[in-house]
Chains A and B, each alone.
Chain A
């Protein structure tokens, strides 16, 4: 290739650049499906929201349900447990949050949380630890109170709340 040709970045260069660009687009478009297939399938996405009938959970009871494959605590709190959670001073908390931030207004009896310890993901046990109506993670000893807030142990955060809303007083939609 002589110097003359180099100084003339004309149709030839344009053709090579255009072809290269089209090639890159082609390879990229072909590669994306191969990656995206690892994302949740339509069958998994269809379970991204679940509805749950709360009328089956008696006061004082705790049930474990599934949402996106995750274990979810649905706890029907007693007035005592609510009062205790509301009465706790924020200063005593490792991850300060008032009880009102843990539940929906007017539905204080319902505590709905992802049942994985925020330390390393074990499912804590109910009502066997330091706090009455609270949780106790057997894996590494984290203690949660009756609002699912971490009080001691290695866990850094309160039990996580999934997105949810009340469709009626007895029907909740999670996700």
Chain B
């Protein structure tokens, strides 16, 4: 998609096809001859891993839907029926549930890779924004899917998360009733969540298509953060990156299979093996681990925001928490314009590295705090990490880029690979010598 097409149809059929529906040309230019920077490291393999995980979730999901019964009376037992009686059901159900966790693990790595290497910077702002949209859709899908087994955690997660909307002034309560289809979570909620849980992944597929399109127009970023200058900077996607991605994917499948077969319940919660009961709340409600950082941000806002020295409350703590939680994702949309640095890759920004590390620590710390009771030291810590999270995006990045002294950038990707002493001619000679 970037640059002139290198595709030449070889036989009669492909020529015929190419003048009607140039899909083979599209595949060739996007995944075969696609010029890819030669210096991509393993952090760049998570794009392919995520595409694979999306397929895994859709395929196992479609298969589970053949056996699942989306009614309040039958949902819990039908999931157990799948585990017990459907051929391979234990494995397929486990792949889908553990797969959600692996999907999120991969997406967090992918996002933090982008933040470190400045993948959001011009000309890749749209690529980044589409990525945030995918992340939002994934979170919605993950939440909707978690409700379907209709255990206690499913039910109370649905109750708590739909209650977020009641924080909205004026229309909040009506909106919650609209979303639930009643005053409480019930059969109506379950069936609509099931419908949407089936729909959203296909919307993700659509946005992923746009995401890849928006990637292939400017081309991949890379660890050096300098743009591709000539042919020596790139390699054809196939076989170099197809094989590298495939290797990384199979390595990624190892922990996936480990959890799937040996600890399928380790990432879940025991309370979800108790049938949903609207009369009893579990002692300690926690979301799935991949929502923990945002859950901690929600709970960190324990105070009202009002006009100082008066009793006037502008934003109560409940609405404040919800705003902070959604704000933590919304802020990502503006990241391309918040970072003022001219240098793309974090590798050449010594001061940035420290702040970045603190961001990672804050995010993991928030994830840990999300599983802790919301009192005492935990709240204070969560407030500190939350403040840093927003401070990183809204204060540090805008200012740091203007004052930081960065390390000198390589002149080109091939120079960053071969070292500054190597001129271009010997580099080409080396390649031929190796052949």
Which residues of A pack against B, CB within 8 Å?
2, 33-34, 36-39, 41-43
Chain B residue with Cβ nearest A2? B435
> Are A41 and B63 closer than 8 Å at their CB atoms?
no
> Are B84 and A34 closer than 8 Å at their CB atoms?
no
Determine the distance from Cα of A40 to Cα of B87 in the docked complex, in whole angstroms. Answer: 8
The answer to whether A38 and B66 touch (CB under 8 A), given A33-B91, A33-B92, is yes
The answer to whether A36 and B88 touch (CB under 8 A), given A41-B81, A43-B81, is yes
> Are B88 and A43 closer than 8 Å at their CB atoms?
no
Given A33-B91, A36-B88, A37-B63, 5 other A-B residues pairs in contact with their CB atoms under 8 A: A33-B88, A34-B60, A34-B63, A34-B92, A42-B86
> Are B67 and A34 closer than 8 Å at their CB atoms?
no
Residues of B within 8 A of A33 (CB): 87-88, 91-92
Interface residues of B in 310-349 (CB under 8 A from A): none
Q: How far is the CB of B349 from chain A (nearest CB, A)?
A: 40
> Are B92 and A42 closer than 8 Å at their CB atoms?
no
Closest 3 A/B residue pairs (Cβ): A33-B88, A42-B85, A41-B85
Interface residues on B, range: 10 to 19
Determine the distance from Cα of A37 to Cα of B67 in the docked complex, in whole angstroms. Answer: 9
Residues of A within 8 A of B87 (CB): 33, 36-37, 39, 41-42
Q: How far is the CB of A13 from chain B (nearest CB, A)?
A: 14
> Are B67 and A43 closer than 8 Å at their CB atoms?
no
Q: Flag whether B59 is at the interface (Cβ < 8 A).
A: yes
Q: Flag whether B47 is at the interface (Cβ < 8 A).
A: no
> Are A37 and B66 closer than 8 Å at their CB atoms?
yes
Residues of A within 8 A of B85 (CB): 41-43
> Are A42 and B66 closer than 8 Å at their CB atoms?
no
Determine the distance from Cα of A43 to Cα of B84 in the docked complex, in whole angstroms. Answer: 9
Indicate with 1 or 0, residue by residue over B422-435, a CB within 8 angstroms of chain A CB atoms. Answer: 00000000000001
Q: List 23 A-B contacts (CB under 8 A).
A: A2-B435, A33-B87, A33-B88, A33-B91, A33-B92, A34-B59, A34-B88, A34-B92, A36-B87, A36-B88, A37-B63, A37-B66, A37-B67, A37-B87, A37-B88, A37-B92, A38-B66, A39-B87, A41-B67, A41-B86, A42-B85, A42-B86, A42-B87
Q: How far is the CB of A103 from chain B (nearest CB, A)?
A: 35
Q: Flag whether B365 is at the interface (Cβ < 8 A).
A: no
Q: Flag whether B22 is at the interface (Cβ < 8 A).
A: no
Q: How far is the CB of A39 from chain B (nearest CB, A)?
A: 6
Residues of A within 8 A of B60 (CB): 34
Q: How far is the CB of A138 from chain B (nearest CB, A)?
A: 33
Q: Flag whether B9 is at the interface (Cβ < 8 A).
A: no
Residues of A within 8 A of B91 (CB): 33
Determine the distance from Cα of A56 to Cα of B261 in the docked complex, in whole angstroms. Answer: 49
Determine the distance from Cα of A39 to Cα of B67 in the docked complex, in whole angstroms. Answer: 11
> Are B84 and A42 closer than 8 Å at their CB atoms?
yes
Residues of B within 8 A of A39 (CB): 87
> Are B86 and A37 closer than 8 Å at their CB atoms?
yes
Determine the distance from Cα of A37 to Cα of B91 in the docked complex, in whole angstroms. Answer: 10
Q: Flag whether B264 is at the interface (Cβ < 8 A).
A: no
Chain B residue with Cβ nearest A26? B250
Residues of B within 8 A of A36 (CB): 87-88
Q: How far is the CB of B69 from chain A (nearest CB, A)?
A: 13
Residues of B within 8 A of A42 (CB): 84-87
Indicate with 1 or 0, residue by residue over B65-88, a CB within 8 angstroms of chain A CB atoms. Answer: 011000000000000010011111
Determine the distance from Cα of A38 to Cα of B435 in the docked complex, in whole angstroms. Answer: 51
Chain B residue with Cβ nearest A46? B85
Residues of B within 8 A of A2 (CB): 435
Q: Flag whether B89 is at the interface (Cβ < 8 A).
A: yes
Determine the distance from Cα of A2 to Cα of B63 in the docked complex, in whole angstroms. Answer: 48
Determine the distance from Cα of A36 to Cα of B92 in the docked complex, in whole angstroms. Answer: 11
Determine the distance from Cα of A33 to Cα of B87 in the docked complex, in whole angstroms. Answer: 7
Chain A residue with Cβ nearest B64? A37
Q: How far is the CB of B81 from chain A (nearest CB, A)?
A: 7
Determine the distance from Cα of A38 to Cα of B67 in the docked complex, in whole angstroms. Answer: 9
Residues of A within 8 A of B89 (CB): 37, 41
Residues of A within 8 A of B84 (CB): 42
Residues of B within 8 A of A37 (CB): 63, 66-67, 86-89, 92
Indicate with 1 or 0, residue by residue over B41-67, a CB within 8 angstroms of chain A CB atoms. Answer: 000000000000000000110010011
Determine the distance from Cα of A2 to Cα of B435 in the docked complex, in whole angstroms. Answer: 9
Chain A residue with Cβ nearest B59? A34
Determine the distance from Cα of A38 to Cα of B60 in the docked complex, in whole angstroms. Answer: 13
Determine the distance from Cα of A38 to Cα of B84 in the docked complex, in whole angstroms. Answer: 14
Determine the distance from Cα of A41 to Cα of B66 in the docked complex, in whole angstroms. Answer: 12
Determine the distance from Cα of A2 to Cα of B434 in the docked complex, in whole angstroms. Answer: 13
Chain B residue with Cβ nearest A45? B85
Chain B residue with Cβ nearest A36? B87
Interface residues of B in 87-139 (CB under 8 A from A): 87-89, 91-92
Chain B residue with Cβ nearest A5? B435
Determine the distance from Cα of A34 to Cα of B65 in the docked complex, in whole angstroms. Answer: 12
Chain A residue with Cβ nearest B56? A30
Residues of A within 8 A of B59 (CB): 34
Q: How far is the CB of A16 from chain B (nearest CB, A)?
A: 10
Chain A residue with Cβ nearest B62? A34
